[in-house]
Homo-oligomer: A and B are copies of this chain.
Amino acid sequence: METDQRFGLNRHLTLPGPLLLDAGVAFAPVEFAYETYGTLNADRSNAILICHALTGDHHVASDHPITGKSGWWTRLVGEGKPVDPARHFIVCVNVLGSCLGSSGPSSIDPATGKPYGMSFPVITIADMVRAQAMLLDHLGVGALQAVIGGSMGGMQVLSWTILYPERVRSAIAIATTARHSAQNIAFHEVGRQAIMGDPNWRGGDYYADNNPPAAGLAVARMAAHITYLSEAGLTEKFGRKLQGRDAKSFGFDADFQIESYLRHQGISFTDRFDANSYLYITRAMDYFDLAEPFEGVLAKAFAGAKNTRFCVISFDTDWLYPTAESRHIVHALNAAGAPVSFVELSSPFGHDAFLLDVPEQNSIVDGFIRAGEGRA
């Protein structure tokens, strides 16, 4: 299998499709950027899909080929980790709509030879999952031992159990929600208005002259970044500490460390992410409401998922998707008769905690996966 070009790091693939989208569009062809780690075993029972968050990519546990940075979830995925290429066949796919290798608004539309821009169809979390299923078919993966993700990755995890319950034996949904709240939508709308209000956005048609709406995208990222951190964590890390000076400047430079940090987060983000992709993916998240097609009753959404084991994890300082949202999921799973473990972990780091060093998260995920393997 080592010479099978379907497997390995930094894979790029185009499938003919079409992929039928919630918007009613038959999208084709479909590009995928993905990585696999480990080897699919003989009975094809050890596949684990990792789903990434809004601005993530497929380099879950490998060094990024351009930036050289290590993978975004090496704390959970890797040799000796709960998700281990020595035991598991691990797949991570860049989501549909992104700008990091899979089809998205910055991809070339074969019909025109130019980037799709805003002619790219509006997508949903379910569409991302359908694309992943299409790729897994190509890779010869039927049922998944587990699907794991945090934040928007967790939304994909939950969608997997509804769209393809027979293909998911275990689902691990971390720091996530079953539907975007008014406040969640509001923060995303601020970001979208920052981008679309930037004169460089030009209706999304900005690819030709290398002059993207960077100022708007930076502001969008800054606003979102605040929601990823807890108030207590910000106070602990930055407080009112000044940046490289002894006294306030009585000006509009970044006097405070938090200002300097946020500006850096905003500007550096524009180097690695496409503004249109940010519009499309935030829209997909805002459209996310698992209960909507089921008369608003979440338990009905999970009615087919009785044979999937669920693990739900929240963090006490996460105010983006607070523990109440996880409890809402757990209650619905209970009502649907699906087996579910639920833990609220304590961390000062807010929503971002799932990406950080939280040993309890690792031990819970490890135990849950091993229990599913019958060797806990």
Interface residues in chain A, defined as those with a beta carbon under 8 Å from any beta carbon in chain B? 22-24, 118, 121-122, 179-183, 185-187, 189-190, 192-194, 196-199, 215-216, 218-219, 222-223, 226, 229, 231, 234-235, 237-240, 248, 250-252, 254, 256, 258-259, 262-263, 266, 279, 283, 286-287, 289, 292, 319, 322
Inter-subunit contact B193/A266 (CB<8 Å): yes
**A66 CA / B228 CA spacing, docked (Å):** 41
The 8 closest A-B CB pairs, nearest first, are A197-B215, A182-B234, A23-B250, A122-B250, A182-B238, A182-B258, A183-B231, A189-B259
A323 CB, nearest partner CB in chain B, Å: 13
**A219 CA / B289 CA spacing, docked (Å):** 26
Report how many copies the assembly holds. Answer: 2
With contacts A190-B222, A219-B193 taken as known, whether A231 is within 8 angstroms of B23 at the C-beta atoms is no
A318 CB, nearest partner CB in chain B, Å: 12
A244 CB, nearest partner CB in chain B, Å: 16
A51 CB, nearest partner CB in chain B, Å: 22
With contacts A219-B194, A250-B23, A250-B121 taken as known, whether A262 is within 8 angstroms of B189 at the C-beta atoms is yes
Inter-subunit contact A286/B256 (CB<8 Å): yes
**A287 CA / B239 CA spacing, docked (Å):** 12
Inter-subunit contact B181/A234 (CB<8 Å): yes
Inter-subunit contact B186/A248 (CB<8 Å): no
Inter-subunit contact A183/B219 (CB<8 Å): no
**A237 CA / B182 CA spacing, docked (Å):** 9
| Chain B residues, Cβ within 8 Å of A222 | 186, 189-190, 193
**A236 CA / B166 CA spacing, docked (Å):** 36
| Chain B residues, Cβ within 8 Å of A258 | 182, 185-186, 189
13 pairs of residues in contact across A and B, judged by CB atoms under 8 Å: A118-B252, A182-B234, A182-B235, A186-B222, A186-B234, A186-B258, A190-B262, A192-B252, A193-B215, A199-B199, A219-B219, A231-B319, A248-B287
- Taking A182-B256, A198-B215 as known contacts, 6 extra A-B pairs with beta carbons closer than 8 A to each other, sorted by chain A number, are A182-B231, A182-B235, A187-B226, A199-B199, A240-B292, A252-B283
A29 CB, nearest partner CB in chain B, Å: 21
Inter-subunit contact B121/A262 (CB<8 Å): no
Inter-subunit contact A279/B262 (CB<8 Å): no
Inter-subunit contact A279/B256 (CB<8 Å): no
| Chain B residues, Cβ within 8 Å of A231 | 181-183, 319, 322
Inter-subunit contact A197/B218 (CB<8 Å): yes
| Chain B residues, Cβ within 8 Å of A121 | 250
**A262 CA / B186 CA spacing, docked (Å):** 7
Inter-subunit contact A181/B235 (CB<8 Å): yes
Inter-subunit contact B262/A179 (CB<8 Å): no
**A122 CA / B251 CA spacing, docked (Å):** 6
A243 CB, nearest partner CB in chain B, Å: 11
The one of B182, B216, B251, B259 that contacts A185, using a Cβ cutoff of 8 Å = B259
**A250 CA / B122 CA spacing, docked (Å):** 5
